[in-house]
Amino acid sequence: HFVFILLSAIVLLFQCIEVIDLKPDLAVASMSFSPNDPAVEDSITFVVIVKNSGLESSPEAVLSIRTGNDKKDIPVPAISMGDTAHIVYTAIFDSVRSLQSTVILDPYNSIEEENENNNTDSLIFTVNPLKRPSDLVIDTVFFSPENPVINQVLTITTYIKNIGIYD
């Protein structure tokens, strides 16, 4: 009976042991851009912070960026558990518009993670008209008299126009 009780105890012990599967858990911790008020032809810098909150280091991954109709994939380095990686990319837009930029971490599900529901983030921003400083141009020029002769006083009148955005 002793052997039977011992075997029963061993079986019961194995039933109580829970096997923990250690996995990374990559997440988009934050996403930002600068300048805060971008204009046409500005170089806009985007920063995505990726954190590994899992119990295992992550292998290299992919960050897919979708802004308007543009899509690009950027490599993400391997991240130790508890660490972060800063992914920086730039974009220049040639027209005035409002856009949504969405990032998807591990878009092809090549990494088995603890939580697959924290891999995306997005932000909305507006590309504003080109910011031109004061831009003075000669609008019109008048001569008086219109057909001067030698030794005659000539009066030149010029109108200047500001086509920029500042006075």
Instruction: Convert the pLDDT of each residue in 87-102 to its tens digit.
Output: 999 999 989 999 999 9
Residue 158 parent element (H or E): strand 155-162
Beta bridge mates, 92: 43
For residues 119 and 107, give the distance between their C-alpha atoms in angstroms, rounded to a whole number.
8
Q: Tell me the average pLDDT across 6-21.
A: 57
Over residues 66-122, the pLDDT tens digits come to: 998 889 999 999 999 999 999 999 999 989 999 999 999 999 999 999 999 999 999
Confidence class of residue 136 from pLDDT cuts 50, 70 and 90? confident
- Rounded Cα gap, residues 79 and 49, in angstroms: 12
pLDDT mean across residues, the chain: 87
The tokens describing 140, both together, are: 């019109």
Closest to 91 measured CA to CA, from 40, 135, 21: 40
Report d(CA 132, CA 129) in Å as an integer. Answer: 9
DSSP state of 17: P
Give the model's pLDDT for residue 138: 86
Q: Compare 134 and 63 and report the one with higher pLDDT.
A: 63
pLDDT exceeds cutoff 90 at 146: no
Look-up: residue for tokens 């250690």? Answer: 22
The predicted pLDDT at position 7 comes to: 55
Between strands 155-162 and 136-144, the pairing is antiparallel
